[in-house]
A and B are shown apart, each in its own frame.
With several copies, the nearest count.
Chain A
Amino acid sequence: MAFPGPSRRGNQGERELLMLDNTTMWEAAMKKFVNDPKNFVPEMLKGIALANPGTLKYVPEYNLIMRAEGPRNDKVSIVQGSGSGHEPAHVMVVGKGMLDAACPGDVFSAPPMEYVLETTKLLKSDKGVLLLVNNYTGDKMAFEMASELAEAEGITVKTLFINDDVAVQDSLYTIGRRGVAGNFFVMKAVGAAAEAGADLQECARIGEKVNSVTRTMGIALSACTPPAKGEPLFQLGDDEIEIGIGIHGEPGRRREKIRDANAIVDTLLDAVVPDLPYSSGDEVALMINGLGGTPISELYLLYGIAHEKLAAKGISVWRSYVGEYCTSLEMAGASLTLVKVDDEIKQLLTAPAEIAIRVF
């Protein structure tokens, strides 16, 4: 950071000390692929754009990844914002059939209001803009303020809050359940509907519907280290796991001793299944989402166990989703999501899409 020319400024000494501290911290403690930690998000976003020339565009001013072709007036624009650190959510699921744009904030921080506002303006469409937001205080505020201002500028906007996490219960006080990995299903369904020409009202209906039948619960085996922090967000004992972890490393319901995979799947299903509830005869999509540091081999192991335990309850898995969908940097852990599906949802979830994350 360069300090601009002559200006009235206070305790410079203290700030220089801090910068020094930051550098030392990086060198000593952080095992990450990163240059200046402050540029972690921009450099990642640049990489995404370079990896997808012709299909994705990066607008550095607003941390914005959008389809290269821009918004279309005959299609609702679907936008999701949130903190960074959850990749592939949401910047890597921009593309035909899913998002039109994603405007992330810094790691684990809701995007500043201006990013959301400018993104909404850049994605303006005659058919309207649908903003998908994970239900957190900061995100909610930024999106509400931005959509008010966007509407004042003549843009039709609807905002949809995703809140699939059963770890946090509604209460008089809190803002309510959090949005976590289940948001993938909302984005996929709404994206498919918008691509097929649905209007704003219809897109919102579909989003609400999918959100209403989606439930998630996660478990962390380790903490994670935000690049600009340089230290783990929390400490877990060698034999401890965090049940109901939030995707920003927020503590969950409780800490317990590590147990075998069967017991862990039981814990996850016991939280998720009775919540909707999912009942015998239901058809579901089953997602085992990796939190960033858990290998896909372990995720498939969990999948197999969950699939069979659901079958034993008479709940049949219609389709599997195993991999990383919504992560917490390099946190080891996993979440389990169920979506109760019907023909409409099935069709939307399997509709084609062309996004940054792909295998070949």
Chain B
Amino acid sequence: MTSSFDRVESVVRTITDTCIANEKYFGDLDSVVGDGDFGFSLARGFERVDEGWDTFDRTDVGTFLSKIAIVITSRVGGTSGPIWGTAFLRAGGTVKGKVDLTGEDVVAMLRAAIEGIKARGGASLGEKTLLDALVPMTDTIEERLAAGDAAADVVKAAAVAARTAADATKELEAKRGRAAYTGERSIGSVDPGAIAVAVLAEKVAETW
């Protein structure tokens, strides 16, 4: 599987639009055991991405993603700004100078994003964060690519994996972020960050 710059742009575009469109939904998820700002924070940040859309340096995928990362890190409030910004920054870092991406590149980007998130926030798998959707999704992508699946199928499988994993965060007790304060009371509600990953993966699959 190779992916053109256009494809990267279209995926980032989808992420941008989806985060803006789901402001209320993401916010509602975050008010169950959090503070309700997750949707607002992402939406305001991705509005900035939208506003600057035509101005980002598109020399290569790495540069493009790092520009997006700066907007997110700088302008998204709450935990999500540093977390999501770091993810985009690290993903971009693995593909500096590249214009076309291989399947291995995509997996490397996602692994780098995951490591960045872990480094920034100190979370591990199973602590009820967006990692609990992102990691299983990346695993699936890697497996399907290894199995030689077509890109469109890989993307669909990724969406299914992300959704399944995100829904499964319901059973977890939060150990990180604001939800962690509630301890056992966090069991029974899904993690907003994980659901956001699932929604984004589904939208990407839909618009592939």
Chain A residues packing against B (C-beta within 8 Å): 1, 3-4, 7-12, 14-15, 17-18, 21-22, 25, 38, 83, 105-114, 136-138, 141-142, 145, 167-168, 171, 173-175, 178, 226, 228-229, 231, 233-234, 246, 248-251
Chain B residues engaging chain A, CB cutoff 8 angstroms:
9, 13-14, 16-17, 20-21, 23-24, 27-28, 31-37, 40-41, 44-45, 47, 50-51, 53-54, 73-83, 85, 120-121, 127, 175-182, 185, 207
**CB nearest to A10 among chain B residues:** B17
Whole-angstrom CA separation of A36 from B17 in the bound complex:
21
Q: In this complex, what residue of B is CB-closest to A226? A: B36
CB A43 to nearest CB in B, in angstroms, measures 15
Question: Which residues on the A side are within 8 Å of B54 (C-beta)?
Answer: 4, 7-8
Query: Beyond A229-B27, A229-B40, A246-B181, is A173–B79 a contact (Cβ under 8 Å)?
Result: no
| Cβ–Cβ contact B180 & A112, under 8 A | no
- Contact (Cβ within 8 A) B24 A21: yes
Complex CA gap A22/B180 in Å reads: 30
Contacts A/B (CB < 8 Å), 5 sampled = A11-B21, A109-B37, A109-B41, A138-B78, A141-B79
Chain B residue with the shortest CB-CB distance to A117 = B74
In the complex with contacts A174-B176, A246-B178, A108-B207 CB distance below 8 A: no
Asked whether B17 lies within 8 Å of A141 as measured between CB atoms, the reply is no
Out of A25, A112, A136, A228, name the residue touching B75 (CB < 8 Å): A112
Do A112 and B76 form a contact, CB below 8 Å, given A9-B17, A229-B36? yes
Q: Which residues of chain B come closer than 8 Å to A171, judged between CB atoms? A: 180
- Bound-state Cα–Cα, A11 to B185, Å: 37
Least CB distance, A192 to chain B, in whole angstroms: 30
**Which residues of B have CB within 8 Å of A25?**
24
User: Are the C-beta atoms of B121 and A141 separated by less than 8 Å?
Assistant: yes
Nearest residue (CB) in B for A4 is B51
- Give bound CA distance, A251 to B127, whole Å: 18
